[in-house]
Amino acid sequence: MGLLSEGSPLSWADTQAHADHVRKHGIEQFINQYQKLKERKNDVLYWGDEVEYMLVKFDDDKRTAKLTLKAEPVLTSLQAKEKESPENHPTTWRPEYAAYMVEGTPGKPYGGLLAHFNVVEANMKLRREEITKRLGTNEVPLSLTSFPRTGCPNFTVPEHKPTPTSGASRSLFYPDEVIFPGHPRFRTLTRNIRERRKEKVAINIPLYMDEKTKAVEDLTPLGDDGESQMAAKPENIYMDCMGFGMGCSCLQVTFQACNIQEAMRLYDELTPLCPIMLALSAASPIYRGRLADIDARWSVISQSVDDRTKEERGIEPLKTNKYQIQKSRYDSTDSYLCERHQPYNDINLIYDQEIYKRLKENDISELLSLHIAHLFIRDPISLFSEKINQDDTEDVDHFENIQSTNWQTMRFKPPPPQSKIGWRVEFRPMEVQLSDFENAAYTVFIVLLTRVILTYGLSLVIPISKVDENMKTAHKKDAVQTEKFHFRKEILTDCTPDEVTQCLANTKCKECSCIDEEYTEMTIDQIINGGDEFPGLIAMINNYMSSVDIDVDTRCTIQQYLNLISKRASGEIPTTAQWMRNFVRTHKDYKQDSVVSESINYDLLKKCVEKTGCCLNDFSKTSDNIPTALSKAEGYLNKKNPPSYKNVTPVYEQNGDD
């Protein structure tokens, strides 16, 4: 999770004293790299996934499932293999926030061949095997978005007790030993977030209110001095530290674009898909041993690292702080980057004026300058003494310090210095699924969408405030079936770039109603599978595939993945969250009180283990063939008369300028 500088972490007071220094030099570092790399072109469209695993230990006699705090030795062993042959090892491993987590990625990013879609799942399977080999009997890696009983008494092996009056988190529920011990970053972040905020973080998640659910919990027996009881809202699941959020797992996908312009375009076009994919991947309906009334983790993490003070949150008038800030540093993207999308940036963006000026002086575009100056309203929340003084022409640690602690739904990643890597964007909202098959399906789906977007010049952009509304909707219980999302009606844009420029020159544009007529409300089923007017994203992908050279094997693999996505969207296959909620509610030990007891948790996680190896047929017996949607999409594409798409060089072989 972000930058892992080695060394001795400074206290919060010392870190804060250096905040302006970090920002000032961080910006110079960005500017220097930007000037060197802005013309970089002809990079290949590389991509790769990240999967975070939790290490779970079962006790079949006691019927318990607990998180085992073995990540450090397991990781050391996994990385030893990688270090032996860094050039051609098939997997790479990184630490994560908790001592029960590891993050695995493919050894090399995937690249220019459609056949690569055939190896995604196999690589994920291999990663799972590599971890499993390093675990003991009755221990397994689960790609579980949130562990149901995190923060319940004795939820780990070995057991530890929380320390509400000392240590990094001061949590009533989450012992500091559960934070990954192998790198000081994680504990330092935990402490500094709490100290910067001047109180513990307060996470409140709507509780699923069943017949016998208690609306209020007495926290005094846990050692609360009153702070938590004040912060805990009735009919909510209350949590009080970073680990509840950062100890969740996710599925991320990073793309390398051929140049900076294409990266900005992908960033913008994928932004509206973030809430859609969050809802479609929803997999986390249980927190701290209770059923929640939401299905997805995002807002839990958002609240878990919210280091804003009362002044910044608008609870007290501004005195010592500079800005009122609308969102946590972990939240959805606040602005689009491409100039043509400026009219869609309808959120009041708070940014650092000095930094903005400095970026503009260096001929950095308006919207990129605003984006970076917005990220830089945050303080660095960890700093290592050895890293204070840097060479701004070569180093980027200060820039990365701020960048990598702005955890947004999308991340715009500049090329690292002195590397072969190009401009990249990261798609970060998705919940991790239980099986390799599902994780491969979501990964491949989003990769294919980027190809379709670039090949046909699609635009999915809607006002960014509507994307925010969609994020809220996406968390809701059963959002896939019951909610509607703002979505663009015409994704084959009518406007040529010239027209957009003209439109932008017209100062009235921001108010003009045309933007509001561009989007409507759709269900996820309509967005994915098509509706009356809209052909659906799957149909667009199928259309794309029929225009490129693709072997039968790969086509079949992709078809299975698209079938899963399609059936999740239609409700034929439940989301992981729905399946879990239903499992709990129908369990023989469930007492209609929203509590997920040790024994329910044990049975649920045993079922999760069974699901790790499943394929489409395990979800549904009626997996059908190539969708009929193809012809529908052709009609749509022809109707709009797009830049004759059959002749567009598939992006895969393009390698070049946009």
Of the ranges 41-49, 177-185, 288-296, 547-555, which one interacts with ligand ADP (CB under 6 A)? 41-49
Q: What is the rounded (10 degree) CA torsion for 319, 325, 328, 334?
A: -160
Binding partner of 295, given Mg ion, ligand ADP, none, CB within 5-8 angstroms per partner class: none
For the chain, percent helix, then strand, then coil, each to nearest 5? 45, 15, 45
Give the span between the Cα atoms of 519 and 470, in whole angstroms: 13
Of the ranges 219-227, 252-260, 289-297, 472-480, which one interacts with Mg ion (CB under 5 A)? 252-260
The reply to whether 397 sits near Mg ion by the rule CB under 5 A is no
Rounded to a whole number of angstroms, the minimum distance from the CB of residue 257 to ligand ADP is 9
C-alpha 273: how far from chain center: 12
Give the span between the Cα atoms of 516 and 462, in whole angstroms: 9
The reply to whether 103 sits near Mg ion by the rule CB under 5 A is yes
The reply to whether 529 sits near ligand ADP by the rule CB under 6 A is no
The reply to whether 106 sits near ligand ADP by the rule CB under 6 A is yes
Contacts of 226 (CB under 8 A, 6+ apart): none
- Full DSSP string of 332-347: ------SGGGGGG--S
Applying CB under 5 A, the site for Mg ion has a residue count of 4
The reply to whether 256 sits near Mg ion by the rule CB under 5 A is no
Comparing CB distances to ligand ADP, the nearer of 109 and 463 is 109
Binding partner of 626, given Mg ion, ligand ADP, none, CB within 5-8 angstroms per partner class: none
Residue nearest to ligand ADP (CB): 48
Which residues within the stretch 402-431 sit at the binding site for ligand ADP (CB under 6 A)?
421, 424, 426
The reply to whether 431 sits near Mg ion by the rule CB under 5 A is no
**The only residue of 18, 49, 246, 414 in contact with ligand ADP, by rule CB under 6 A:** 49
Site string for Mg ion, 45-84 (x = CB under 5 A): -----x----------------------------------
Give the position of tokens 């608008």.
Answer: 314
Give the span between the Cα atoms of 560 and 271, in whole angstroms: 26
CB 502, CB 462: distance < 8 Å: no
**Three-state SS at 488:** strand
Comparing CB distances to ligand ADP, the nearer of 624 and 653 is 653
* Nearest Cα residue to 595 out of 389, 287, 326: 287
Comparing CB distances to Mg ion, the nearer of 26 and 247 is 247
The reply to whether 50 sits near ligand ADP by the rule CB under 6 A is yes
Give the span between the Cα atoms of 273 and 288, in whole angstroms: 29
CA distances from 213 to 14, 105, 350, 565 (A): 45, 41, 41, 34
Q: What are phi and psi of 631, to 5 degrees?
A: -65, -35
Which residues within the stretch 248-307 sit at the binding site for ligand ADP (CB under 6 A)?
252, 254-256
Give the span between the Cα atoms of 124 and 121, in whole angstroms: 5
Rounded to a whole number of angstroms, the minimum distance from the CB of residue 615 to ligand ADP is 23
Of the ranges 1-9, 283-291, 473-481, 590-598, which one interacts with Mg ion (CB under 5 A)? 1-9
C-alpha 426: how far from chain center: 8
Based on its alpha-carbon atoms, the radius of gyration of the chain, rounded to whole angstroms, reads 24
CA angle 632, 634, 640 (to 5 degrees): 105
Rounded to a whole number of angstroms, the minimum distance from the CB of residue 301 to Mg ion is 8
Give the span between the Cα atoms of 621 and 97, in whole angstroms: 39
Binding partner of 106, given Mg ion, ligand ADP, none, CB within 5-8 angstroms per partner class: ligand ADP
Of the ranges 47-55, 308-316, 436-444, 538-546, which one interacts with ligand ADP (CB under 6 A)? 47-55
Binding partner of 143, given Mg ion, ligand ADP, none, CB within 5-8 angstroms per partner class: none
* Nearest Cα residue to 247 out of 184, 164, 330, 304: 304
Binding partner of 648, given ligand ADP, Mg ion, none, CB within 5-8 angstroms per partner class: none
**Three-state SS at 237:** strand
Contacts of 129 (CB under 8 A, 6+ apart): none
Q: What is the CB neighbour count within 10 angstroms for residue 365?
A: 17
Binding partner of 46, given ligand ADP, Mg ion, none, CB within 5-8 angstroms per partner class: ligand ADP
For residue 252, the one-letter residue type is Q
Comparing CB distances to ligand ADP, the nearer of 107 and 289 is 107
Applying CB under 6 A, the site for ligand ADP has a residue count of 16
The reply to whether 143 sits near Mg ion by the rule CB under 5 A is no
Rounded to a whole number of angstroms, the minimum distance from the CB of residue 98 to Mg ion is 9
For residue 558, the one-letter residue type is I
Give the span between the Cα atoms of 598 and 604, in whole angstroms: 10
Which residues within the stretch 111-150 sit at the binding site for ligand ADP (CB under 6 A)?
none
Binding partner of 48, given ligand ADP, Mg ion, none, CB within 5-8 angstroms per partner class: ligand ADP
Comparing CB distances to ligand ADP, the nearer of 50 and 139 is 50
**The only residue of 91, 156, 192, 252 in contact with Mg ion, by rule CB under 5 A:** 252
Contact residues: ligand ADP, CB under 6 A: 46-50, 94, 105-106, 109, 252, 254-256, 421, 424, 426
What are the residues binding Mg ion (CB under 5 A)? Answer: 1, 50, 103, 252
